[in-house]
Amino acid sequence: MLWLRRLTAAFLGLVVLAVLAAAGGWWLLERYLDQPGPLAEEQLIELPRGTGLAGIAARLQTAGIIEDARTFNIATRVIGRDRRLRAGEYRIPANASPRDVLDILESGQIVLHALTIPEGLSTVEALAVVERHPVLVGDMPEALPGEGELLPETYMFARGTTRAQIIERMRADMARLLAELWENRQEGLPLDSPEEALILASIIEKETAVAAEYHLVAGVFVNRLRRGMLLQTDPTVIYAITRGEGPLGRQLLRRDLEIDDPYNTYRYPGLPPGPIANPGRGALQAALDPAATDYLYFVADGTGGHAFARTLDEHNRNAARWRRIRDGG
C-alpha cells in the first residue's frame, strides 16, 4: 500500500499548493482593489443607461480614473460586483482606488445640477433661463406655460433631464403650493379664487424685494381692495407696456399712467386680469395671510424698503422725501 500513501501525499501537496495559490491570488486582488488610482484631480464621468461592465471600464480608463480596463473588468466580476453598477453622472475624487470607484458607482449618488429661477421673473424671462441652461437637453415644449404658472425655486436635476420635464415640474410645484396655501388662507379676504391670490402675489413680488415687507405690502393692497380703492401700483402699468417681454428700460412716466389697458391699475379698479410675474413662496404666503394693518399707502424710502402711511397727507410727505433722495436733493 506504499503507492497509495505516496499518491495521497502527492494529492494533499497539490491541494496545499492550490490553497496557497488561491490565497496569494486573493491577496493580489485585494491589493489591486485598494491601490490608489491614477486620477490627478476630481472628475465627473457619465455612464449612460445600458452601458455594460466592459463599456464602463473602457470609459473609466479613457477618463484616466483606472489604469487598465481589462484588469478592472476581471476584478469586478471575480468579487461579484459587476451587476450592481448604476447609470448616471458621478463625481470621482483624485486617486480613487478601484474599490472606491465601485463604491461610488454602486451608490446611485449621482451628480445633481442646479437651475435657479429668481422670484419675480415673467414667464418669458423664466423660460429664457431654462432655454439657456447648458445641462438641460431637448427643445422647449410647444405648449408653454402662462404668466404666473411657474414656481421660482432652485431645482436640482440629473444630467439628461429635458427642458420640458423641468418646466412641467415648475408648473406642478406652483399649482401644488397655491392649492395648499389657498386651503389655509386667512378668513375674509377679498379674493374669490386661487387665481386672484396668484395675481395679488405677483404684484407684491414686483413691488418689494424686501421679504420682511411682503405681508405688510399685502395688507395695504387688501385694505385698498376692501375699500374699492384703485390699487395704483406701478408694476402693473409696466406690465401693460411690456407684457413681460423684458424690463421697461426707463423710468415710468406720468403719461404711462393714462394708458387704456386692463393691467393699468391707475385706471381700472380691482385686480388686473392676470398675474404680472411668477411670485415666490414668500409673496404667495403674504397674499393669503396679509398683515393686519391700517396702512393704505407706501412709497420707496431710499434704503431699498418702503415708507408706509395711513393717510394721503402722510403718504405725500413720504413721496416728497423719496423724490428728494432720488433726485439727489
Q: Averaged in consecutive runs of 10 residues, what is the pLDDT profile of the chain (329 residues)?
A: 42 37 60 88 90 90 90 86 87 91 89 96 97 96 95 96 97 98 96 97 96 96 97 96 92 93 97 98 98 93 87 88 76
Parallel, antiparallel, or unpaired: how do β-strands 112-116 and 297-300 relate? unpaired
Q: Cα–Cα distance between 113 and 95 in angstroms, integer?
A: 24
Residue 219 lies in a domain: yes
The reported pLDDT for the residue numbered 7 is: 39
Q: What is the CA radius of gyration of the chain?
A: 33
Same domain for 83 and 131? no
* Residue 149 and residue 225 share a domain: no
Provide the strand spans (E) within the chain.
43-47, 88-92, 112-116, 154-158, 297-300, 306-309
Number of domains in the chain: 3
Asked, for residue 15, whether it belongs to a domain, the answer is no
Selection from 131, 148, 149 nearest residue 139 by Cα: 131
Which range of residues forms the domain containing residue 194? 187-326
- Of 57, 84, 109, the domain-final residue: 109
**18 close to 44: Cβ distance less than 8 angstroms:** no
Residues 226 and 207 in one domain: yes
Residue 46 in grid coordinates:
457619465
Query: Both 191 and 319 in a single domain?
Result: yes
> Where is the domain boundary, 109, 134, 156?
109
The verdict on 314 and 194 lying in the same domain is: yes
48 and 166 inside one domain: no
Question: Which residues, 6+ apart, have CB-to-CB distance to 289 below 8 Å?
Answer: 185, 186, 215, 218
Per-residue model confidence (pLDDT) at position 300: 86
Q: Are residues 98 and 156 in the same domain?
A: no
Calculate helix-pair angle for 98-107, 2-33, nearest 10 degrees: 70
In a shared domain, residues 256 and 319: yes
pLDDT computed for residue 15 by the predictor: 38
pLDDT of amino acid 24: 54
* β pairing state of 88-92 and 112-116: unpaired
Q: Is 224 helix (H, G, I), strand (E, B) or coil?
A: helix
- State residue 322's pLDDT score: 79
The residue out of 109, 131, 149 marking a domain boundary is 109
Judge if 169 and 197 occupy the same domain. no
Q: What is the pLDDT of residue 10?
A: 38
Strand-pair partners of 154: 116
Measure the CA–CA gap between 246 and 201, rounded to whole angstroms.
Answer: 19
Type and span of the H or E element at 173:
helix 163-183
DSSP label at residue 275: -
The residue whose grid cell reads 395704483 is 232
